Each structure stands twice: as C-alpha cells, then as structure tokens.
Structure 1
C-alpha cells in the first residue's frame, strides 16, 4: 500500500504524524496552522487508504488504516495527532502499537463513546441543525459529490464563529473528497474504529485532549470524564477548532507536545 503523504522537513526524532478525519476527506484541511511547526518538527500528513489521493485497496477497515500507518512510521516512535474520526484511528494505533507512539493528542474527537442525547438542551445546536441539515438521505448526488455536498451543507455546524465560516469554506474547496467508505457505512459493513475499554488500554501512552468548547460533533463534556495526561479546551471554538482559533490551537499543540 502506497499512501499519498505530504511531508514537511524537520528532525526525524521529532516527527508528528497527523491523522485526518472523515473518512473520505483528505489531509489538506489540517495543514494550516500545523505547517508552522515545520523545521522544528518533521510533519507527516497521510491520506488514509481510499481517501484523498491514496488508492482504494481492500479491506477498507480501521485495522487496515492502522496497518498502513505502522508501515509509514517504521521502527522509530513518533508523536501522533488524530483529528475527529482520525482521533479514533490514532487511538487504535496507540492501543495496538504503543511502542510506536510517544505522545497521543486526540483533537476534536473523544476517547469515550458519545452518549445519546449529548447535545439535548443546547439551543444553538438545535437551531443550527435545523438550519443546516445533513444531505445524506435527501440529495440526488452520489459518490464523492455527495461527500462534498455534506461537508459544505454542515459547515456551519463545524465552525463556531460565523466570521470563520468563509475561510473554512475556502479550505473545503481544496479538499479532495472520495466516497470509498460511503457504501460500507450505509450497508452496516464498516466496522467501528472504537476499541473496547479504550481508557484502560491507553494508560501506557501519554494521552492529551484538545477540544473546542462549542464542538457540535463530539461533546466537550466528555473531556472532563476522560483520564489523560493533560487537556486544553479552547473558548469560542467549534469542531474545527483550528479554524476558529488557529493561534490558540497551535499554541496548545506546541504546549502538549512539550510535556
């Protein structure tokens, strides 16, 4: 398996592997502001198999994604930042191969499962959900165009600050969307990326959490319930906290990697 990987040069013993979310997105929406770490750190931004410019290959499973990342890392441990769905893949990597992960930052994601009704009573969440509904079940589009349409339709749910929305939409224009996981997901054949008992199984890995206070995908309430080595919650920031608060988000990443 040959993944498409964007690399920024830096010391190999200070490598940061960045695992994007989606799936069926690419890595590009996470490059900024992390690219400012280039030079002080070697940065690896892979497109997971079947995502972006990486080829589709069977099986399309979380375990196969992890196996690809193990191949990419090699034998030298790296720091790992997993974002959104990529946070689940990053946890799976750390649980299965703890010797390869020096530090794990779970960003805009969760270790604990999201409980049903997690956003009940939050008026702004309800308002935005009604104003910007998902198009998965209503759009006539198929394939990558449907993935793309969903990303644009739900953009106001992903960024909190309305002044951040134009820049986020511009970022989405540069994403290479795919639909490799759409049919397996709809048919129920796509396995969950969550590992059983993740808190217990991650105890041997330095775990850090980075979250936006107004995240409408993974509730911030789970951060305080998750044992970890450190957590940063950014105010006035949604799921795409690095878009809402890029300076504070980058400073938090730098701080957590220094611990």
Structure 2
C-alpha cells in the first residue's frame, strides 16, 4: 500500500500490520534496499518504508540534515497510532534518524542505527567533500566505482554481479543536487555533544567490512549513547540488510522483541 506522510510531502509504502516500524534508507541506495527484509519484518510489525526527502516521490528539503530530520519527524507524527513507532536507519538514513530523535524527544520507542556514527574522521569528511566535488564536475556516473565500493566489499561485488547492477542503477537515479547536499551535511556533522539527549534504547549495528562508516565510528556512537548495545556483523559492509539479510534480521528482531534493553557498552556481539 502506498501512503503519503508529512502533509503529503513524504511518499512511503506500507507492509503488514501491528506496531509501526519505519525504515530509513541510505544515501547510496533507495527504499528498495530493504526489500529483502520487509516481508519477514511485516509478519510482526507494520513496516513503513519512506523515500527520504529528495528521493523517489518525496519532496526535497534544503538546509542540511536538521530540516531533513524535522521533515521525517512530521512523517512519524502523521502515523498517529497508539504506539510510538520504532525507527531503523541505514547509513544516511541512520544519521537522519539519530538527528531526528535528538531534536524530537519522545517521538519513537526504540532506534536501530545500522552503519552510522556521530562524527566522521577528517579522512571521512574529505571523502564526502571529494564525492560532492566529483559529482558536481562530472556527474554521479563518475562515482559509480566509489559508490559500489562504499556499499559492498570487493569479493562480495565479484560474487553478485546482478545485485551490483541493480544497486548501481538505484544510485544513478539519485538527484545529484540532493546527493551533493547530503555529502556536504555529513562532512560537517558532529552529533557527539548531543548523544545524551537520545531518550530510547538503541541497537547500533555495523558491518565488519564497512569502509564508509567503519566499526570504530559505531563503537564511539554506542559508547556515547545513554542506553545502547553494539553488534558487529562479520563479513558485511555498508548495507548488511542486502548482503546478509538473515543475520541482519536476527540481530534486529532479537533487540526489538527482547525486554532486556539495558546499556552494556562493553558487549560486542558477532552474528555469525
């Protein structure tokens, strides 16, 4: 089912019924990057998969990450259910979700942040500046190899050529202006001082081979949150829900259906 949220400015699709669970996609992908997990999640939740602002059929918003987070907060409020929704974000979508929860306390019940962080290293910041500059000068196609490398490890790419073609096509459908604005926002991002404002339990997931948001970023993020646990997914890179959907679901559902969500910053669980 297709719906519109945030006063009609956010397009989304809905699967299943029950407690609402929103999935925010990454910058290098689109909402179809969750296709391998929505069916199973919809057995337990009402799964809502929006296009982030400027992607798909959702209206763009200018001004950086904060206005994007505010627009998505409007979308969450539009659900008006008896339960506060759960939000799961991957990559850029996780940064949006984190900023949203910081700016809008009490909005969600739990948070899953996959392949995210609170602040990039200078090397990471420079990578975003470079991608913005290259896309401006030569177009997104000039970043094809870079984008795929940031999503998947080389050996996985070689073993899954059809998936790589599908993901590359999704990336090239991105609005270049939206892509550049997101790169610039991420290059200047530092949410570390605001992490204590996150008022819900958080699962921080990260692919062991993620080069875009390395595990060190997730460790720092989990350590700075008031109520978080960290899980590392072996063999995965930036989009583990595509690379290892069974393991991603195992980690996510264990967190979402377990009442024991207390903080244990030292616990690092490997899902084999």
Category of TM-score, reference length = shorter chain? 0.7 to 0.9
Conserved 8 A contact 1:6-1:45: yes
Give the match for residue 22 of structure 2. 17
Deviation at 1:10, TM superposition (A): 1.1
Which blocks of at least 5 consecutive residues in structure 2 are unaligned? 1-6, 259-272
**Which deviates the most, 67-76 or 216-225?**
67-76
Match of 1:102 among 105, 109, 121: 109
Conserved 8 A contact 2:135-2:142: no
Give the match for residue 256 of structure 2. 257
What is the CA–CA distance in structure 2 between the aligned matches of 1:93 and 1:231, rounded to whole Å? 20
Report how many aligned residue pairs link the two structures: 235
Conserved 8 A contact 1:135-1:150: no
Q: Which has the higher contact order (CA 8 A, sep 6+)?
A: 1
**2:56 is equivalent to residue 63 of structure 1:** no
1:101-143 per-residue CA deviation (whole Å, 9 max, x = no partner) reads: 10111101113x122358xxxxxxxxxx9xxx9695288644x
Give the match for residue 76 of structure 2. 73
Conserved 8 A contact 1:88-1:109: yes
What is the CA–CA distance in structure 2 between the aligned matches of 1:32 and 1:151, rounded to whole Å? 23
Alignment of 1:94-133 (within 5 A): 94-111=101-118, 113-116=119-122
Match of 1:158 among 151, 164, 167: 151
C-alpha change, 1:138 and 1:45, in structure 2 (3 Å) is closer
C-alpha change, 1:9 and 1:185, in structure 2 (3 Å) is closer
What is the CA–CA distance in structure 2 between the aligned matches of 1:194 and 1:251, rounded to whole Å? 30
Which blocks of at least 5 consecutive residues in structure 1 are unaligned? 119-128
Give the match for residue 237 of structure 1. 236
What is the CA–CA distance in structure 1 between the aligned matches of 2:137 and 2:187, rounded to whole Å? 26
Q: TM-score, normalised by structure 1?
A: 0.77
Conserved 8 A contact 1:114-1:219: no
Kindly report the root-mean-square deviation, in angstroms, between the aligned alpha carbons of the 2 structures: 3.1
Q: Which has the higher helix share?
A: 2
What is the CA–CA distance in structure 2 between the aligned matches of 1:213 and 1:15, rounded to whole Å? 29
Alignment of 1:1-259 (within 5 A): 1=7, 2-11=9-18, 14-22=19-27, 25-56=29-60, 58-74=61-77, 75-76=80-81, 77-111=84-118, 113-116=119-122, 137=134, 141-142=138-139, 146=140, 150-151=143-144, 153-160=146-153, 161-162=156-157, 163-174=159-170, 176-182=173-179, 184=181, 192=188, 194-195=190-191, 197-202=193-198, 204-225=199-220, 226-227=222-223, 228-259=227-258
What is the CA–CA distance in structure 2 between the aligned matches of 1:138 and 1:97, rounded to whole Å? 33
Conserved 8 A contact 2:120-2:190: no
C-alpha change, 1:60 and 1:3, in structure 2 (3 Å) is farther
Task: Look up the SS of the partner of 1:114 in the other structure.
Answer: coil
Conserved 8 A contact 2:33-2:242: no
